[in-house]
Amino acid sequence: MDGLLVFGKTGQVAREIERIVPDAVFAGRDEADLTRPADCAELIRSTRPAAVINAAAYTAVDKAETDQETARLVNADAPAEMARTCAELGIPFLHISTDYVFDGSGDMPRAEDAETGPLGVYGQTKLSGERGVAAAGGQFAILRTSWVFSAHGNNFVKTMRRLGAERDRLTIVDDQIGGPTAAADIAAAAVTMIAAMTRDPSRGGLYHFAGHPDTSWAGFAQEIFALSGLSPEVVGIPTEDYPTPARRPLNSRLHCAAITHDFGIDRPDWRASLERVIKELDE
């Protein structure tokens, strides 16, 4: 994949894209601050890429509740501006979104056309970003994923390994259900999609992509501890017993058949990906 520009340099997904496409241009905060959408447009124009991926976002879910303006600029305004600029230049744009655009009701996996209903500011701003990207009028893909983990950055795997080593007993919510997804698997999917889009201007759209099988945060934690040689007692608790500033969806299950049908990308087994991440962390 030649001529790829990626927004994001330090993030989980950006760092995994770098492993697959080391020759891409990776724009960090210093090259393009997403609170200044016009700077993002300027960078795209001056870089003249063949395609653009946005892997940067405001991902601090609780903090977003009290920092709405920044979350909106980064998650909604900047991606819309990127998409408009790509549309002007006639190049494909791939953007990453989240299960938190949904309200989490019911217990069935949601397809791409299911009704949205974000419960917090992070999800609201990510949904606005999706809408801005789709409205820009160019060739785009939006990849909705969930529960991202990797050996880098902040994520649940690293938090659990820290807490599991410090404490004998952990209380972890067991009524939020979703698909943990390795950043490496998202990066591979994103690169496959943007390459296909570059070859064929008719390709793109909204796609769900998450690790298999669905589990709870408590279930995910159990597997993290088992693979890490840690054995704290895991006590499953309902969401109401773990109060946080932002509400989170109970049902984060994503129906992922479309990406398999259109791009041949299957749901990766997150347990195999977790094994690789833990190996990397133990190195």
Ligand X SMILES: Cc1cn([C@H]2C[C@H](O)[C@@H](COP(=O)(O)OP(=O)(O)O[C@H]3O[C@@H](C)C(=O)[C@@H](O)[C@H]3O)O2)c(=O)[nH]c1=O
Q: Find the farthest-apart pair of alpha carbons in the chain and give their distance in angstroms, rounded.
A: 56
Residue type, 206: L
Stretch of 64-72, 170-178, 194-202, 257-265 lying at the interface with ligand X (CB under 6 A): 170-178
Of 156 and 232, nearer to ligand NDP (C-beta) is 156
Residue ranges in 114-133 that form contacts with ligand NDP under rule CB under 6 A: 126
Is 146 a binding residue for ligand NDP by CB under 6 A? The answer is yes
Is 170 a binding residue for ligand NDP by CB under 6 A? The answer is no
Do residues 39 and 82 touch, judged by C-beta distance below 8 A? no
Kind of pairing between the strands at 25-27 and 51-54: unpaired
Among 16, 77, 81, 99, contact with ligand X (rule: CB under 6 A): 99
Cα separation, 149 vs 126, in Å, equals 19
Backbone angles phi, psi at 206, to 5 degrees: -100, 125
- Supply 241's token pair: 């017993």
Of 147 and 270, nearer to ligand NDP (C-beta) is 147
Cα separation, 129 vs 1, in Å, equals 25
Of 172 and 191, nearer to ligand X (C-beta) is 172
Is 266 a binding residue for ligand NDP by CB under 6 A? The answer is no
Of 45 and 162, nearer to ligand X (C-beta) is 162
Contacts of residue 171, Cβ cutoff 8 Å, sequence gap at least 6: 235, 236, 237, 241, 242
- Binding mask of the shown chain, residues 52 to 71, with x at each position contacting ligand NDP by CB under 6 A: ---xxxxx------------
Length of the chain: 283
Is 8 a binding residue for ligand NDP by CB under 6 A? The answer is yes
Is 10 a binding residue for ligand NDP by CB under 6 A? The answer is yes
Residue type, 91: I
Is 216 a binding residue for ligand X by CB under 6 A? The answer is no
207 catalytic residue (yes or no): no
Stretch of 63-71, 83-91, 103-111, 156-164 lying at the interface with ligand X (CB under 6 A): 156-164
Residue nearest to ligand NDP (CB): 11
- Supply 151's token pair: 């050996």
Residue 173 interacts with which of ligand X, ligand NDP, none, CB < 5 to 8 Å by class: ligand X
Minimal distance, residue 278 CB to ligand X, in Å = 17
Among 12, 54, 176, 198, contact with ligand X (rule: CB under 6 A): 176
Cα separation, 281 vs 161, in Å, equals 10
Contacts of residue 209, Cβ cutoff 8 Å, sequence gap at least 6: 143, 144, 145, 181, 185, 186, 189, 254, 256, 259, 265, 267
Do residues 144 and 177 touch, judged by C-beta distance below 8 A? no
Residues annotated catalytic, as ranges? 122
Q: Site residues (CB under 6 A) for ligand X?
A: 59, 61, 98-100, 146-148, 156, 159, 163, 170-173, 176, 217, 242, 248
Q: Site residues (CB under 6 A) for ligand NDP?
A: 8-14, 28-29, 33-35, 55-59, 74, 96, 98, 126, 145-148, 153, 183
